Chains A and B, each alone.
Chain A
Amino acid sequence: MDYNATCKIKNNGRKEINQLMKKIYFVLFCTYSLLLSATSFAQTNGAMGDSPGMAVGMRSNGKIYVVVAVVLTILLGLFLYLASLDKKIRKMEKELK
């Protein structure tokens, strides 16, 4: 009886964590899309400027934001992949118990 009760509490805790994870993914996704739109805005601004220089140009109108977006996408993709693996393993662990 006691054991079952603790199991239930544990399962509820996991559900809560799962829900929390979902919320966090949502927030991350929102900030990410916001950031993307912000960077695209920065690029149109940058293109208005004068000819690209060396170091300064790399950041303002050298389209460095494109690279940031690409690397961020790769990174986020990897994180999502890892998170899904995590979830799958958690499920397997539950079944094994």
Chain B
Amino acid sequence: MLIMLRQSWWKITGVILLIYAVIAGFLIPVPDIGNLFETSRNLFFHVPMWFSQLVLITISLVYSIIYLRSNKINSDIYAAEFARTGIVFGALGLITGAIWANYTWGAPWSNDPKQLGAAIALLIYLAYFVLRNSMTDIDKRGRIAAVYNIFAYCIYVPMVMILPRLVESLHPGGKGVEGNPGLSEKDLDPTMRKVFWPAVLGWIILGLWITTLRVRLKTMEEKKLTS
């Protein structure tokens, strides 16, 4: 894995994808939906934040499980750093969502179930770092943090992906809507889809890049401490 981190081809892919997403995201024609007008272009920037966060915290979860099985300090570093970048993307998602909501729903915060769920999930992930930093024993910290991380993930998924769909929501995909809106064939405009998926991939790669930098830094710190 560490060898993969230092290769540059996937970073360049991400850079190209994001450049494409920005140019095409602003310039392609978008369909006129409700009171969204040009703001539906936010689909290329706001939504990928959540996709990236989900990918990052899922990787974090996997490393937490690996840590519990192997007890290797490296896996603990991976888990923590993936969760950290995940929090950054989640915060960006919340802020961009509030800006978008201000001009389409009338207020930055309307206690929409998805907004509430995302905020709670973010707080739970922040608590992960509070918990981590409150312990000095490396083994104890690693184990407790890993167990908590698994718990946090199990709260995140229902908070952001299940509960908002069971009740009425301003977000697409509330009660009474079938399937996952925006992702199904008939809901997302075909031209928008051609920009949306590259954008999602590009933002995910950017998140991975930032995380790998932090992981490498932390690994070096660890080496310095132990040697």
Q: Which residues of B contact A71 (CB under 8 A)?
A: 22, 26
Q: A79 near B23 (CB under 8 angstroms)?
A: no
Q: Which residues of B contact A47 (CB under 8 A)?
A: none
CA distance A86 to B204 in the complex (A): 17
CA distance A60 to B38 in the complex (A): 14
Residue of B nearest to A32 (CB): B19
CA distance A92 to B6 in the complex (A): 13
Whether a CB of chain A sits under 8 angstroms from the CB of B69 is no
Which one of A17, A28, A35 contacts B15 once the chains associate, using CB atoms below 8 Å?
A28
CA distance A75 to B14 in the complex (A): 12
Interface SS of A by simple majority: helix
CA distance A76 to B32 in the complex (A): 30
Whether a CB of chain B sits under 8 angstroms from the CB of A50 is no
User: Taking the nearest CB of chain A, how far is it from the CB of B193, in angstroms?
Assistant: 19
Whether a CB of chain B sits under 8 angstroms from the CB of A7 is no
User: Taking the nearest CB of chain A, how far is it from the CB of B19, in angstroms?
Assistant: 7
Q: A67 near B26 (CB under 8 angstroms)?
A: yes
Q: A68 near B22 (CB under 8 angstroms)?
A: yes
- Whether A17 contacts B8 in the complex (CB less than 8 A), given A82-B209, A96-B223, comes out as yes
Residue of A nearest to B27 (CB): A59
Q: Which residues of A contact B26 (CB under 8 A)?
A: 64, 67-68, 71
Q: Which residues of B contact A79 (CB under 8 A)?
A: 15
Taking beta carbons and an 8 Å cutoff, which residues of A are in contact with B? 17, 20-21, 24, 28, 35, 54-55, 58-59, 64, 67-68, 71-72, 75-76, 79, 82-83, 85-86, 89-90, 92-93, 96
Taking beta carbons and an 8 Å cutoff, which residues of B are in contact with A? 6-8, 11-12, 15, 18-19, 22-23, 26-27, 29-30, 32, 37-38, 209-210, 213, 216-217, 220, 223-224
